[in-house]
Chain A
Amino acid sequence: MLRKILPHPFLTLTLIVVWQMLVNKLTLGNLLLGTVLALIIPVITSPYWPNRPHLRSWPRIVEYVLVALWDICVANVQVAFVILFKTNANTRPAWISIPLDLRTPEAITVLAGTITMTPGTISSDVSADGRSLLVHCLDAPDPDAVRDQIKARYERRLKEIFE
Chain B
Amino acid sequence: MLVEILISVSLVISGIFGLVGSFGMIKLPDPMMRLHAPTKATTLGVGGALIASMLYFYFVVGQLSFHELMITLFLFLTAPITGHFIAKTHLHLNHKPSDLPPTGTERPWASYESDAERQRIEAAAEAGDTPR
Contacts and interface: CB of A to CB of B under 8 A. Distances in A.
A88 interface: yes
Nearest to A81: B20
Nearest to A88: B29
B35 to A, nearest CB: 6
A54 B30 CA distance: 40
Given A113-B76, A122-B83, A125-B87, A21 B36 contact: no
Given A83-B27, A129-B105, A93 B32 contact: yes
B30 to A, nearest CB: 8
Interface string B10-25: 0000001100110110
B88 to A, nearest CB: 6
B33 A128 contact: no
B87 A79 contact: no
A11 interface: no
B39 A127 contact: no
Contacts of B23: 83-84
Interface string B67-93: 101100100110110011001100100
Nearest to B87: A124
Contact of B109 (A24, A76, A134): A134
Contact of A125 (B37, B66, B70, B91): B91
Given A84-B23, A116-B39, A116-B84, A24 B67 contact: yes
A153 B17 CA distance: 25
A95 B111 CA distance: 15
Nearest to B66: A21
A31 interface: no
A76 to B, nearest CB: 4
A117 B104 CA distance: 25
A79 to B, nearest CB: 6
A76 B19 CA distance: 13
B109 A116 contact: no
A95 B80 contact: no
B101 to A, nearest CB: 4
Interface in B48-75: 65-67, 69-70, 73
Given A84-B20, A124-B91, A127-B103, A21 B84 contact: no
A123 B36 CA distance: 11
Contacts of B105: 127, 129, 131-132
Interface in A54-85: 72-73, 76, 79-80, 83-84
Contact of B36 (A84, A119, A131): A119
Interface string A98-133: 010000000000001100111110111111110110
The 8 closest A-B pairs by CB, nearest first: A124-B87, A127-B103, A116-B80, A128-B107, A113-B80, A21-B70, A97-B101, A83-B24
